[in-house]
Amino acid sequence: MKILVADKISPKGVAYLRQQPGFEVVEAYGSSPAKILELVKDVHAIAVRSETKIGADVFAAAPLLKVVGRAGVGVDNVDVDAATEHGVIVMNTPLGNTVATAELTFTHILCGARPVPQAAASMKAGQWDRKSFSGIELFRKTLGVVGLGRIGTEVAKRAQAFGMRVLAYDPYLSPTRAKAMQVEAVTLDELLAQADYITVHMPLTDQTKYMIDEAALAKCKKGVRLFNCARGGIIKEAALIAGLKSGQVAAAGLDVYEDEPLAVDSELRKLPGVTLTPHLGASTAEAQDAVGIEIAEQIADVLNGGVISNAVNMPSLDAATLKVIGPYLELGGKLGTLVQQLATSRVERLRITYWGKIVELDANPVTRAIQRGFLKRISGDSLNFINAPTIMQRLGMEVETIKSNSDADYTDLVLVEAVQADGVTLSAAGTLLGKANSPRLVALNGREVEASPSGALLIYENHDEPGIIGMVGTLLGREKANIAAMSLSRNNAGGTALCILNLDSRPSDAALKELTGHRAIKQAVVVNL
């Protein structure tokens, strides 16, 4: 079997692949997209870092391809949806760069306190200027960590070793874990108001993009210091530049940018209080050796028919089991994502109940699919079927699974219940319909419905009275949001009605605000599946 190593990974990883019986390794670093398309025609595996793009055209041109391995965390350069459509496993190495990125982050924090890069440049220019490079100490200062995942946790540990007070904002951080970490769990506004230094360690999502913008900076102490070694776009660069110029921000350290590479004429390059590095988070010898060897071992396991690990688009399953349980994985993922988007406060526990034929199967992969679906919009690039339970445990969320032998209205049924910290329980139940085993939503918060869990869903609850459906239809019509399907349920005439609309496109926030402001609408939300 042929393996294409498209980007330069650790020589130890390449050597490991060459040592495997029956493997042919082709190293083609720096190949053009056209050359890649030519090379993949007969390859069974591709190993990349971040340089080579593996898009839909590559998968279409590679009929023998079984696995793409990314030596690193993010898979932004791999079209995962296209890989899934072509039955190709996509794997990453989520643990190898944790320490490297945490240490780089803390290096930036130190440089934000003591202007070492600027002083070093001055010395190399032949100067001896002690007055211009006075700094401050980290001791007894307050560090705000936005996102207490793997890397944020390691940064917090290092800050504590320097005698810093550590505040942590993470919507899914439990009080128990915060206490164990000896950090103070706070709201984002509290963190912004109290922190002398702020470092971000969140994935880039719709919710986290521009999390630190003009409004956020206005809530900070004057002279705050900001750091981002996570993902470009969490800190709004225009707001940061304005803050540096006004003095609201005293210093900043960046390893990632909204657009990479950073533009030559970017104002960030010209501001004296900014330390910039060219996306070096994982660029240590140890991290590169670790991820190179790890991805080589994972690729070899897949090609040899062994365990599938760290897959971002499937669980650790052999092909025969996957064929049977695959439809349940899709259903579980949809239900997990749905209840997460319905939640209005921190979820403390997931309760998953199975009925029917699935009770006789190993439901663990389905449970993992539900967990991954729940975490999909709130966790980082390293999330997969393997580490979803660990991430949930780290966030302080319990998971209870029940295999029921009682009668159900369906041959197969999966119920996912999310128990919030305020005691409210949200639930969604689904089944598989037809020869195609298509996922179907059949109950929502205890109310019978019948809807396809796909695309944009507008879910609203209203007082049962005439004219509501017409009002909603008119509103969506103005939005050019076409209704693909509708499911309506009510408890009794004149009581409360629940409606689920499958939409071709998401309505605007303004339209949703108008809808929720209507006197008959009790609540409304748009979820994306």
Q: Which residues are catalytic?
A: 231, 260, 279
- Is-contact 313 346, C-beta < 8 A? no
Please tell me the distance from the alpha carbon of residue 212 to that of residue 201, in angstroms, as a whole number. Answer: 12
What are the residues whose beta carbons fall under 8 Å from the beta carbon of 477, sequence distance 6 or more? none
Query: What does the angle CA 141 – CA 226 – CA 93 come to, to the nearest 5 degrees?
Result: 105
- Is-contact 374 322, C-beta < 8 A? no
Q: What's the residue count for the chain?
A: 529
The backbone region for 197, taken as left when phi is positive above 0, alpha when psi lies in -120 to 50, beta otherwise, is: beta
Query: What does the angle CA 95 – CA 205 – CA 264 come to, to the nearest 5 degrees?
Result: 85
Closest C-alpha among 453, 460, 493 to residue 476: 460
Determine the longest span between alpha carbons in the chain, in angstroms. Answer: 85
- DSSP string covering 323-354: HHHHHHHHHHHHHHHHHHHH--S-EEEEEEEE
The backbone region for 38, taken as left when phi is positive above 0, alpha when psi lies in -120 to 50, beta otherwise, is: alpha
Closest C-alpha among 435, 423, 408, 418 to residue 373: 418
What are the residues whose beta carbons fall under 8 Å from the beta carbon of 66, sequence distance 6 or more? 44, 45, 88, 89, 302, 303
Please tell me the distance from the alpha carbon of residue 264 to that of residue 241, in angstroms, as a whole number. Answer: 15
- Is-contact 311 93, C-beta < 8 A? no
- DSSP string covering 468-504: HHHHHHHHHHHTT--EEEEEEEESSTTSEEEEEEEES
CA dihedral 71, 77, 83, 85 (to 10 degrees): 160
- DSSP string covering 187-208: -HHHHHHH-SEEEE-----TTT
Burial (Cβ within 10 Å: 0-12, 13-18, ≥19) of residue 269 = exposed
